[in-house]
């Protein structure tokens, strides 16, 4: 439930559930519409300073602890930064191993996001008992989605409802009028059944990451210079077996579910578009190791005009503003010189209200994530991205927006983009595994290169499932002299900047129709469509020692 703040008259969701970390959302709602919004990261932690004085391999192992949901990209981007600083060229075998590990991390994260974190914003558990089981099987076949023991699932839900405890489904606003009134109860039952199946499939992805990474979460095999995992044909055959199981789920369950549910929420094409500018660093290296030649494209997309336009981008003009942040850092310091100077005052939406900084690239507010990647790839004329264009066009056709990629600039478009990325990811994961099998069969053994110099500046520009991720490090004498991190959710959750411009999530919230301000489900859907990871987005240190983090407890809704 949201709480009405007596002083401001705004509605407050604190904390927002089904995301990673602690997020407060404050909404000015009147006339059934969000007129203004403030998104506040309320978790205080420390990483960058504690890395100083450590070795690059220490940094890789430490930064993966930023997040237990996506530890792989944090590890890899740290390795890329260190390799850039110390003159390492990633060996081809290591490139393939890292790509496979990263691809499976993306798949696991996306499956968890759609079914576990987001789906119950669209699938109403309270409608499941209305479903006719025989009709549910018929609908599943009609929709082209997989069947399950729908009768057993319905009985499980009935037991939970009769017992007065919805267990894992407790945190949903079921029965809310914003749930589709046209979506049949049988489709709700299908969604719940596949929610449970998705838990098993994401575990298959986790098993692959445990094999390649040594364990999961927090893999041990990716290190600056390459990988310590030595693939064999037998190990890779096991990976392929599991990848094909994931592919079957993606193609026969996740995509058909998306296309079956989406037509019942077409109103969500009309709001939630946000800032309409997007950043992707690109991800999954080709054998050229050229960042402009990755399997998902790099670029900055401006979709504020009649048609989206993509352009080249680099990290030379990124600033993190702290106007609305509990921080006194100098935004003029960039990349290797950036700093964090935490200074908590009070929660005040007119002054400072978040631990998140406000990153800007070339002075622009930018959204990051699957939508940014899909747009950057869709608009890139290279034939490498033909499959992305095919998937996006298929999705647009299903949404009744054929030939109009601008329809993706919405709540429903953002959800669709994340799910449509999955077929591309699993196909690439299988192809990269097959390429690695061929490499091993041919006697390939290039998996590691040691540092070529002890001193240098390095940049890691990569993607996590949630979007663009950047690490910069300055290495002196083999030790970290300075370390700077901008995580995807820092871009998306950042508060107002020095010009008063709202962050991407805040902009996406403005204009959202709200049927029930005390249960602003429509707003929660928008925030969750970004898959926030608040724990990743805030990096601060305790001022006296520089080593420990402090959590400021809130009482009565205030700090």
Residue 34 lies in a domain: yes
Nearest residue to 90 via CA among 288, 262, 363: 288
Residue 555 lies in a domain: no
So what's the pLDDT on residue 444?
95
The residue segments making up the domain with residue 260 are: 3-119+199-537
For the chain, 559 residues long, the average pLDDT of each consecutive 10-residue run is: 85 92 94 97 75 94 86 96 98 98 98 96 96 98 97 96 87 93 97 97 97 94 97 96 98 97 96 97 97 97 90 92 94 89 92 95 97 97 97 94 93 97 98 98 96 97 97 96 93 97 98 97 98 72 39 29
So what's the pLDDT on residue 543?
41
The count of structural domains within the chain is 1
- On whether the pTM is more than 0.75, the answer is yes
Helix (H, G, I), strand (E, B) or coil at 555: strand
CATH number at 283 reads: 1.10.645.10
Residue 546 lies in a domain: no
513 secondary structure, DSSP code: B
Q: Where are the beta strands (DSSP E) in 336-390?
A: 358-361
Residue 21 lies in a domain: yes
Residue 188 lies in a domain: no
Residue 545 lies in a domain: no
- How many Cα neighbours within 13 Å face the side chain of 221? 24
Residue 529 CA to residue 268 CA, distance in Å, equals: 12
Q: At how many degrees (to 10) do helices 150-163 and 185-213 cross?
A: 100
Residue 482 lies in a domain: yes
Helix ranges restricted to H, 64-184: 71-86, 92-111, 133-143, 150-163
Residue 171 lies in a domain: no
């Amino acid at each position: 439930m949201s709480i009405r703040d007596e002083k401001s008259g705004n509605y407050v969701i604190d904390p927002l559930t089904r995301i990673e970390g602690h997020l407060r959302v404050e909404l000015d709602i009147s006339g059934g519409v969000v007129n203004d919004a403030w998104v506040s990261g309320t978790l205080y932690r420390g990483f960058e300073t504690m890395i100083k004085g450590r070795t690059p391999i220490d940094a890789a192992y430490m930064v993966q602890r930023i997040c237990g949901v996506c530890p792989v990209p944090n590890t890899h981007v740290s390795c890329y930064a260190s390799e850039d600083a110390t003159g390492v060229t990633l060996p081809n075998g290591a490139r393939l191993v890292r790509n496979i590990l990263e691809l499976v991390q993306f798949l696991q994260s996306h499956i968890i996001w759609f079914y576990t974190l987001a789906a119950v914003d669209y699938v109403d558990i309270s409608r499941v008992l209305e479903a006719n089981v025989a009709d549910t099987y018929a609908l599943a076949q009609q929709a082209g989605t997989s069947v399950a023991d729908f009768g057993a699932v319905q009985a499980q839900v009935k037991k939970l409802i009769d017992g007065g405890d919805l267990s894992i489904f407790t945190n949903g606003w079921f029965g809310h009028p914003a749930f589709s009134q046209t979506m049949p109860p049988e489709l709700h039952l299908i969604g719940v059944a596949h929610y449970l199946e998705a838990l098993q499939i994401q575990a298959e992805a986790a098993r692959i990451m445990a094999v390649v990474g040594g364990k999961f979460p927090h893999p041990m095999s990716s290190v600056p210079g390459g990988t310590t995992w030595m693939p064999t044909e037998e190990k890779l055959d096991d990976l392929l077996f599991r990848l094909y199981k994931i592919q079957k789920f993606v193609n026969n369950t996740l995509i058909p579910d998306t296309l079956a549910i989406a037509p019942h929420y077409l109103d969500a094409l009309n709001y939630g578009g946000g800032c309409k500018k997007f950043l992707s660093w690109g991800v999954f290296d080709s054998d050229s190791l050229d960042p402009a030649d990755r399997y998902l494209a790099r670029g900055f997309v401006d979709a504020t005009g009649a048609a989206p336009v993509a352009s080249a981008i680099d990290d030379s003009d990124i600033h993190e503003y702290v106007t609305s942040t509990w921080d006194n850092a100098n935004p003029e310091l960039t990349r290797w010189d950036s700093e964090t100077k935490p200074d908590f005052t009070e929660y005040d939406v007119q002054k400072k209200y978040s631990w998140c900084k406000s990153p800007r690239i070339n002075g622009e507010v930018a959204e990051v994530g699957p939508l940014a990647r899909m747009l950057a790839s869709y608009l890139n004329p290279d034939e490498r991205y033909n499959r992305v264009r095919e998937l996006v066009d298929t999705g647009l056709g299903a949404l009744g927006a054929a030939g109009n990629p601008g329809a993706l600039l919405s709540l429903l478009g953002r959800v669709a983009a994340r799910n449509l990325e999955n077929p591309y990811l699993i196909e690439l994961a299988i192809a990269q595994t097959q390429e690695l099998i061929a490499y091993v069969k041919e006697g390939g053994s290039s998996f590691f290169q040691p540092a070529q110099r002890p001193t240098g500046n390095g940049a890691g520009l990569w993607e996590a499932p949630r979007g663009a991720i950047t690490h910069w490090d300055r290495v002196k004498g083999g030790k970290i002299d300075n370390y700077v991190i901008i995580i995807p959710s820092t871009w998306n959750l950042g508060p107002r900047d020095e010009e008063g411009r709202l962050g991407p999530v805040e902009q996406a919230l403005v204009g959202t129709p709200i049927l029930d301000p005390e249960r602003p489900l429509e707003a929660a859907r928008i925030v969750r469509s970004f898959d926030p990871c608040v724990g990743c987005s805030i990096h601060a240190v305790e001022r006296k020692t520089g080593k420990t983090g402090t959590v400021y407890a809130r009482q009565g809704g205030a700090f």
